[in-house]
Amino acid sequence: MIEGAAGDNRDMTNLDKDRFLPILSLMWKIRFFEEEAIDAQKEGLVLGAIHPSIGQEAVAAGICPNLRPTDLLLSTHRGHGHTLAKGADPLAMMKELFGREGGTCGGKGGSMHIADFGVGMLGANGVVGANISIGVGSAHALKLRRSGDITVCIFGDGAINRGPFLEGLNWARIYDLPILFVCEDNNFSATTHTRSMTGGPGAVARAESLGLPSRSVDGNDVLAVDAVAREQIGAIRAGDGPRFLHCNTYRMTGHTAVDPATYRDPAEVETWRGNCPIARLERALGLAGVEAVELERLRDGARADLKAVRDEAKDAPWPDPAQAFDDVQDIGNPAERAY
């Protein structure tokens, strides 16, 4: 049995409903954003890959509400949930996926490279593990500026087998950088079980071998993710250096929106489907005395909001072609300028 997935007998009497009702709403927002995006791709509105995080919502919703607007965030190619949780506008994000005017990156980045510097979201990244080096660089800049802000860098389990993981965590440790590394472990590297291609005991052991205080948590339990993330973020802000958080979760879709995921054991999928992080939080809130009608109101409101977002983004104009080379660096002919 997945730890915490069933038979959870924690006392929810004192659950902070004022804190976790907005978190539930956020999780529904993430879920419905991605469902609308997947449907939009089928309609031909998204011309590019979408990597859904359906089933993984508790990681984004458990970590990002503990951040300040001025804190920085780095994400993976599966970054819609993280970006929404950091405070990005879902309409601007949907326009970005559609390549429309008003997208967070002017319609140029799309799903895998979505960013919003206005909320401290420095970008998703289509290269596995590449965001670790960028995240460490941003954390070093924050330390030099003595801003008191921190960086959170989220990556998947496949990234721990790539060079930037070792280099990035080592650099963060020796310079005591203000960064929280989060391994969002959904058990698969694209279409392969990560455990079949990972030597040794895994992510936490590797982080601890580099001297980072590390925790592992049930990534489908947003209460647990929130508690551990809050503790680690507090320690980082206090100047105690980098921390590592391993969140064990599962994506309920294929690697991309068009991947049927036939490589997965159906029994495994059904086991995890019964461990849905949204359903678990709803059960916890119900035990804390929240009426079912209130939970339904949050769900239905989020669904209506995201449907309206899709409809408005669909009707948005295309960008002016004259903007194609805006934000593109041009230093002239490097062969002429280099010597």
Flag whether 321 is in a domain. Answer: no
Task: Report yes or no on 326 lying in a domain.
Answer: no
Answer yes or no: are the C-beta atoms of 100 and 107 closer than 8 Å: yes
- Biggest distance spanned by C-alpha atoms of the chain: 72
Tens of pLDDT, residues 66-100: 999 999 999 999 999 999 999 999 999 999 999 99
Residue 1 binned pLDDT confidence (cut-offs 50, 70, 90): very low
CATH at residue 257 = 3.40.50.970
Cα separations (Å) of 317 from 3, 95, 278, 314? 48, 9, 35, 8
Asked if residue 6 belongs to a domain, the reply is: no
Query: Is residue 72 assigned to a domain?
Result: yes
Classify residue 283: in a domain, yes or no. yes
Q: Residue 185 sits in which domain range?
A: 17-312
Angle subtended at Cα 186 by Cα 183 and Cα 191, rounded to the nearest 5 degrees: 120
pLDDT-based confidence at residue 2 (cuts at 50, 70, 90): very low
- Residue 11: the pLDDT is 83
Question: According to the model, what pLDDT value does residue 243 have?
Answer: 98
The two counts, helices (H) then strands (E), for the chain are 12, 8
Q: In the structure, what pLDDT confidence band is assigned to residue 337 with cuts at 50, 70 and 90?
A: low
Check whether 13 has a pLDDT greater than 90. Answer: no
Give tens-digit pLDDT for 273-299: 899 999 999 999 999 999 999 999 999
Distance, CA of 183 to CA of 181 (rounded, Å)? 7
On the question of pLDDT at 7 being above 60, the answer is: no
Give the tens place of pLDDT for each residue, 22-72. Answer: 999 999 999 999 999 999 999 999 988 999 999 999 999 999 999 999 999
Q: What is the pLDDT of residues 198-240, one digit of tens each?
A: 899 999 999 999 999 999 999 999 999 999 999 999 999 999 9
- Structural domain includes residue 334: no
Q: Are 36 and 306 in contact (CB under 8 A)?
A: yes
Residue 322 lies in a domain: no
Residue 249: pLDDT over 60: yes
Instruction: Work out how many domains the chain is built from and give that number.
Output: 1
The answer to whether residue 338 sits within a structural domain is: no
What average pLDDT is seen over the chain?
A: 93
